[in-house]
Structure 1
Amino acid sequence: MLLNTACQQEQEANSATVATPPPAPADTAFTAEPAAVAADSAAAPQAEVVLASSKAEKTAAWTYPGPEPLPGAILPQKRIVAFYGNPLSRRMGILGELPPEEMLAKLDEEVANWTAADSLTPVQPALHVIVVTAQGQPGRAGKYRLRMTNKMIDDVLAMAKQRDAIVFLDVQVGQSTLQEELPQLADYLKLPNVHLGIDAEFSMKDGGIPGRSIGTFDAADINYATQFLADMAKEHQLPPKLLIVHRFTQRMITNYDQIELRPEVQVVMHMDGWGHPALKKDTYRRYIQKEPVQFTGFKLFYKNDLRKSPRLMEPEEILALQPTPLYIQYQ
């Protein structure tokens, strides 16, 4: 599976190893902002797709907007539990922090935990790998981003195969754009087990430097991504693709009510902030629950969540959220 050789050329020109994206300022990880007014409008035909979400009787239910799921759709029939990071860096998440066998064994443990917490919703394991990393320096292309080689992606696909896991390719565009980066990944996104994540935190539309301020995506950017994936699914006769959209502040996603929902793509708005459980729940309420798009996700940080809390949130606490997250990510 070959990508454009510019991927390899740019990586070699910048660094022999993966540079860790500069972290967002700690004080802005959860910005206290007024709750947005939900504009309960939909850009696509609505269908009642109901998922029950409690541990036993599943008395609480949520109706997800959008087209009725096509055959082969993962959501809402399953819950995805994903490990995030980059295998070339121990600082970017659990995916690269541990040797592959230890990492996969830990993923097995989390899958078992979620299965025990909600035995009525099958768990789909996943590896969520950063394949375009934001950079603190402009690099040869001047875009403040570094593309990974196809070998690194192939290595993650091989690891995923050992657990029948799906794979998400995550893109931090820096000063580039989705229009420039996604076509480079087409040879992978045409595979039925490969999906997409896009990280607004490192989308520097104003020409800023990643890590010094929090970036943003507009509905127009997300609509480009969903159209790209929909075209890929139709061209290659694939089951619906998944799109994970990272979010933890108001400005990270603008015009959410203009995001177009397509039958070939399932959109997950993913609460990607770290902190104390109460703060994480509040951020979920403000920016995920109050600005619903389709499905929802929730992130747990093995290290950052413990900086101001003695423990990680338990699956049962996350299952109590409404809408109940169907995508769970560990970093």
Structure 2
Amino acid sequence: MAYLSTLTRLTAPALASLGLAFTLTTLPGCGSRSATDSEKATMAADTVQQPAPLDSTQLKRLAMRRDSLMADSIAKVSGVLPGAILPGHRIVAFYGNIRSKGMGILGREPKDQMFRKLKKVLGEWQAADPSRPVQGAIHNVTITAQGTAGKDGKWRLMNSKATIEEVINWGKENNYIVFLDVQPGHSTLQVELPKLEEYLKDPIVHLGIDPEFSLATMPGVRPNQKIGTLDAKDINFTINFLARIVSENKLPPKVLTVHRFTRKMVSNYKNIKLDPRVQVVMHMDGHGDPTLKKDSYQHYIVNEPVQYTGFKLFYEYDARPKPHHIMTPEEVIALKPSPLYVQYQ
């Protein structure tokens, strides 16, 4: 994401005094600096289908897969639509912005080098869990929270059409799916998402939304001064928006990732209304000591279930300070439930 959140960072002495038997309340979020001025310049913009019924054999097979919260109950109630990626696959994504070296692995390294690394990582995940096919992905922050308000005072900037199309082409060149991520700043999802509709009509394009940088309910707050929030009504708007695109364009279900590392980032989660045309991933987005990450996953993802679960790994922040380390595929797979979306920043 665009900024390093220090609001929830615990001091080393405090952590040491707590030892390992503590309960985490918050975990630091995405750890990227904002885009430079040159990067900002480059990034700037110039009827419901009924799901097919599942036979008893399919239902039993799905019921045995409890790797993701509620996957079996969703199947029993509504069926999993043809072409759905989850729960049959695990998505492994590289995150960032292709026009910024500071927002994640996606833009930090040259294109060919980055894709070689992603291919290697995908192989490691497939080896760690041969029973579940791995789906590669690139996750590009397409509407990015900014450190300045901009002409309209909304504190966000959208990639140009050329950049968005380039990201999608990168995915097609490598047989990967693509996520377009939205940090709305002082705008709203209701205003920003329609700008991406033409791209979301492509069957390989999916969506991410970031409550950390959703500040419309916090007048006067600059991104990174406080952690933002989205309510169930905002997530339901997004689900309905994607479901309509799926139906109107006869597409397979879309995957929606919702980043989260504090309780207040998502309010009224029990009111989120699922739709088989949209597969919702609640994504644990904090960085730091693996013990903290696991605790955050338990508190904010497992204990407040929606549908599927995700987990984020940071190349730059998870391994600092030593002896901390970037969790291995085997360690992440061992979480209960086992995340079906994994993201590297």
> Would you say the 8 A contact 1:229–1:241 is kept in 2?
yes
> Would you say the 8 A contact 1:29–1:274 is kept in 2?
no
Equivalent runs, 1:308-323 vs 2, <5 Å: 308=321, 309-323=323-337
Q: What is aligned with 2:338?
A: 324
Shift of 1:25: 1.7
Match of 2:235 among 222, 231, 255: 222
Q: What is aligned with 1:303?
A: 316
User: Is the counterpart of residue 102 in structure 1 residue 81 in structure 2?
Assistant: no
Q: What is aligned with 2:102?
A: 91
Equivalent runs, 1:164-179 vs 2, <5 Å: 164-179=175-190
Match of 2:130 among 86, 104, 119: 119
Q: Which runs of 5+ in 1 are unaligned?
A: 1-19, 35-46, 54-59
User: Is the counterpart of residue 285 in structure 1 residue 317 in structure 2?
Assistant: no
Shift of 1:28: 4.3
Which residue type is aligned with residue 88 of structure 1? R
Distance (Å, rounded) in 1 between the aligned partners of 2:167 and 2:231: 30
Distance (Å, rounded) in 2 between the aligned partners of 1:264 and 1:245: 16
Sequence identity percentage: 51
Distance (Å, rounded) in 2 between the aligned partners of 1:72 and 1:295: 16
Distance (Å, rounded) in 1 between the aligned partners of 2:68 and 2:256: 23
Which residue type is aligned with residue 91 of structure 2? I
Shift of 1:100: 0.6
Match of 1:71 among 72, 75, 82: 82
Q: What is aligned with 1:8?
A: none
Q: What is aligned with 1:182?
A: 193
Shift of 1:27: 3.4
> Would you say the 8 A contact 1:132–1:173 is kept in 2?
yes
Q: What is aligned with 1:148?
A: 159
> Would you say the 8 A contact 2:69–2:308 is kept in 1?
no
Deviates more, 1:282-291 or 1:311-320: 311-320
User: Is the counterpart of residue 25 in structure 1 residue 38 in structure 2?
Assistant: no
Shift of 1:141: 1.1
Distance (Å, rounded) in 1 between the aligned partners of 2:168 and 2:10: 31
Distance (Å, rounded) in 2 between the aligned partners of 1:187 and 1:259: 25
> Would you say the 8 A contact 2:146–2:157 is kept in 1?
yes
Listed one character per residue, the Cα deviations across residues 132-186 of structure 1 (whole Å, up to 9, x for unaligned) are 0001111011000011101111111121122200000000000000000000001
Distance 1:62 1:50, change over 3 A: farther
> Would you say the 8 A contact 1:52–1:62 is kept in 2?
no
Distance (Å, rounded) in 2 between the aligned partners of 1:112 and 1:200: 31
Distance (Å, rounded) in 2 between the aligned partners of 1:190 and 1:129: 17
Number of residue equivalences: 294
Distance (Å, rounded) in 1 between the aligned partners of 2:68 and 2:273: 24
Shift of 1:327: 0.2
Q: Provide TM-score, normalisation by structure 2.
A: 0.81
> Would you say the 8 A contact 1:51–1:62 is kept in 2?
no
Shift of 1:69: 1.2
Shift of 1:51: 5.7
> Would you say the 8 A contact 2:239–2:278 is kept in 1?
yes
Distance 1:33 1:62, change over 3 A: closer
Distance (Å, rounded) in 1 between the aligned partners of 2:89 and 2:120: 17
Q: Provide TM-score, normalisation by structure 1.
A: 0.85
Distance 1:215 1:322, change over 3 A: same
User: Is the counterpart of residue 210 in structure 1 residue 202 in structure 2?
Assistant: no
> Would you say the 8 A contact 2:315–2:344 is kept in 1?
yes
- RMSD between aligned residues: 2.0
Q: Which runs of 5+ in 2 are unaligned?
A: 12-22, 27-58
